[in-house]
Amino acid sequence: MGNRVCVAGVAGRMGRTLAELLVDHPQLRLTAATEQVGSAWIDRDVGELIGEANLDVDISDSLSAVIDDFDMVIDFTRPQATLGHLQVCADNTKGLIIGTTGFTEVEREIIDLSFDKVALVIASNFAVGVNATFKLVEIAARILGPEAEVEIVEMHHNQKIDAPSGTALTLGELVASVRGTSLSETAAYGRHSDTNKRQAGQIGIHALRGGSVVGEHTVIFATPGERIEIKHQAQSRQNFAEGALRACQWLSGQPKGVYSMTDVLNLDQFK
């Protein structure tokens, strides 16, 4: 697998950031880009989109139409579009980086079952700091045990379409997994109209939306005598984009399979 990269949804927030970073990347090259059908950017050069000179990369409305121009795709779009891109990559032996969130359980199962068809990395959050946070939360959950009451609070900008965030759900799933249960069995979302006392074993998850907040996640472990908070604040989308590009470089040397940032960063070495 080579170093030619296609950015899907290039006119979106993350797409533009990825394109900007790829222009000067020492090992990866931006060689293709796509946008949804009907976008005003179709057939225009990516350089115009990001304020650069002509890059000789015209934006297409079809991944299949530019299939010979890239080795792997970075996709931060929407679930339906991502599943379509997954099929194209599987049919043409192309790598795929999935940063899209908001998948249903069935859609996520479709992705997981593609392990023998395509090499891909999927993550709810590609920022290296967030993935370090995942590991810290997992370790804290092990140390504090099921007696600690866990609440997860996340905040994002007012344009985010899924709630809770994929990152918050991943944090909840990590805690639940350590406890030998599942998030679907233990999650309490927002507690609207809930007049009962807090149930033992609950994992509270709360989504806040407003302004231009890039992303904030706090995991609270509360016990009768103390409280531990593990918090991550994203100051820029560049963190997510840099992590996705790091995943691209790592994926280029991997066989078919469904991987995560735990694999990319070798986080399993930290117990």
User: Can 160 be counted among the known catalytic residues?
Assistant: yes
Determine contact, residues 217/167, Cβ cutoff 8 Å.
yes
Q: Which of 85, 156, 217, 232 is catalytic?
A: 156
Distance CA 267, CA 248 (A): 17
Q: Which of 160, 206, 231, 232 is catalytic?
A: 160
Radius of gyration of the chain (CA): 20
Distance CA 10, CA 37 (A): 13
User: Can 192 be counted among the known catalytic residues?
Assistant: no
- Other CB atoms within 10 A of residue 64 CB: 13
How far does CA 103 lie from the centroid of its chain? 11
Distance CA 269, CA 178 (A): 17
Distance CA 65, CA 74 (A): 16
Order the strands of the 29-34 sheet from edge to edge. 59-60, 29-34, 4-8, 72-75, 95-98, 119-122, 257-259
- Other CB atoms within 10 A of residue 172 CB: 24
Which residues participate in catalysis according to the annotation? Answer: 156, 160
